[in-house]
Amino acid sequence: MQDAMQNSKQNAKQNTKRKLSSFWGWLILGTIAWLTWAAWPTSVWLLLCLFMSWMLNAFAAKLHRPFDDRKRILLPLLELTLRNLAKAAGYVGIGIAIVCLAQISLLFMEQISTDALRETELFLSDARLFLHDVLGLQNLLIVLGVLVAITMLFPRSQLMAQTLKARSAFARTYLVLLGVTSFTFFSALGIRAQEEAWQKQVRYQARQALTEAEQLRREIAGVAWTEEYVKTLSPEQKQASVRFFAYSARQMTASSDVRDLARRLASAAPNAEPRGTTAQAERIAERVEAHLTSTGPIRENAPTLRQAELAVAAIQDNVARLRAIRTAAIEATAEGIANVLSDGHAPLVKAFIEELAGSLSRGALNRVVPSIDTPDAAKAWVRTNLMPTATADAGALTDAKWVWDSASFEPRVPRAIPHLIPGPGTPFGSFAGRTPYGGLGSGFGGRAPSGGLGGGFGARPPTMPTFPTATPKPSASWFSILRR
């Protein structure tokens, strides 16, 4: 009886476990089915990847045999290759699973920033490309050579093993990123709809950067032109410049006076005409540059959006470099010619050079784009195309010479404003006058009081008021009128 009761209890427990296992099994299957539906069609690729990994492991298990014969090398090698491929497929599946989870989570999010999502995709793609370059064969050979040399010097070091472990971790991360970046959250229609807008935005950024780069090159050339021309100034011109800066330094409007002088000198510079090729091509492909500078519709053979963005980033880096070169050139030129143009007023000379370079770039050099990238190249370009020794050459960009007139350095003394002192009369006298020409003072024939502007301003003689002493008597004619 006891045995029967124990058997019944065991059977009940087993039935309960079977029910629970069947319940959990159905629950897992339902969850997998829901996840497959929610992450469709990415989930199909995940299932295929997992199935491929399982099949490769199954084939590798069938090939596994005790390694008792050293002549049989092909089967163990094939088994090892299949197992590595199965692991690779598993890591790629992990990346696809991350995409599926992200796709499911986006279903429950109300506000999604397409720009942030796109930037995330681009960041992950760049990270995968970086790991691809790091794990390349060339870098691997270099690292192995260095490690072999270090191991020969320090045999007990574990650097080789640690490097191989790190490379294995990087390879796994690369496979996961490969699975993640193999998919995009933008459909083909969505990408086509936003491709044109993105391309237009990139084109606008490229045109802005290219325009700024051309302007910076002109300003660098203007700085070099100023430095080279200062070397040719006569002693009279240098003395006039020194007097001007010495006078301006004592004024409250020193900076504005110096900049006004720079604008006057820049307006006297001869205009440079483009002759031949003077533009500096950016370090990008011609096809990409033509696409970025175009304002028409996007062609079918246009560069991809990623290529255009990389080109714009390169142009913007070049703009930052040119901006730093211009700042360094202005500071170096100001320090070099401060003692020539003034008695060491370096801040004023720096402001003068900045304004002069900007005015030259907007005026005399507006039609050319110098092919320069460094201050030395700018000086060589100026000597070849703009200096008096080069104006006689056939390849010069200007036929005239830049002349700094000594009269431009004469300080402009502001005119004194007359101080008007109010007098006791009516301001501007004629306002209260009853002449037909109520002008200022004696305008149009009217007589004005002496001193001042014809009336209440200026020194006027003191006048005493007059009061009547007696009432006037009526005349006889007045009485005769009353009698009548």
As given in the structure block, the two tokens for residue 420 are 């008007």
CA distance 306 to 350: 41
Backbone angles phi and psi of 410, in degrees to 5: -70, 130
* SS3 category, 369: coil
Cis preceding linkage at 41, omega within 30: yes
Per-residue pLDDT of the chain (484 residues; tens, 9 = 90+): 555 556 665 665 566 555 556 666 677 777 767 777 777 777 778 888 888 888 888 888 887 766 555 556 777 788 888 888 888 888 888 888 888 888 777 777 766 677 777 788 788 888 888 888 888 888 888 888 888 888 888 877 777 788 888 888 888 898 888 888 877 665 444 555 567 777 888 889 999 999 999 999 999 999 999 999 888 888 888 888 888 988 888 888 888 999 999 999 999 888 888 765 455 555 677 777 777 888 777 777 778 877 888 889 999 999 999 999 999 999 999 988 888 888 878 889 999 999 999 999 999 898 888 888 888 998 898 888 887 665 455 556 776 788 888 788 877 665 444 544 455 544 444 444 444 444 444 444 444 444 444 444 444 454 444 444 444 454 444 444 444 4
Longest pairwise C-alpha distance within the chain = 170
As given in the structure block, the two tokens for residue 162 are 């640690």
Say how many C-beta atoms besides its own lie within 10 A of residue 206's C-beta.
Answer: 23
CA distance 242 to 227: 16
Judge whether 405 and 268 are in contact, CB under 8 Å. Answer: yes
Give pLDDT, residue 212: 92
Give pLDDT, residue 186: 54
Give pLDDT, residue 63: 78
How is the chain split into domains, by residue range? 28-110, 113-185, 191-409
Q: What is the pTM of this model?
A: 0.52
CA distance 434 to 373: 75
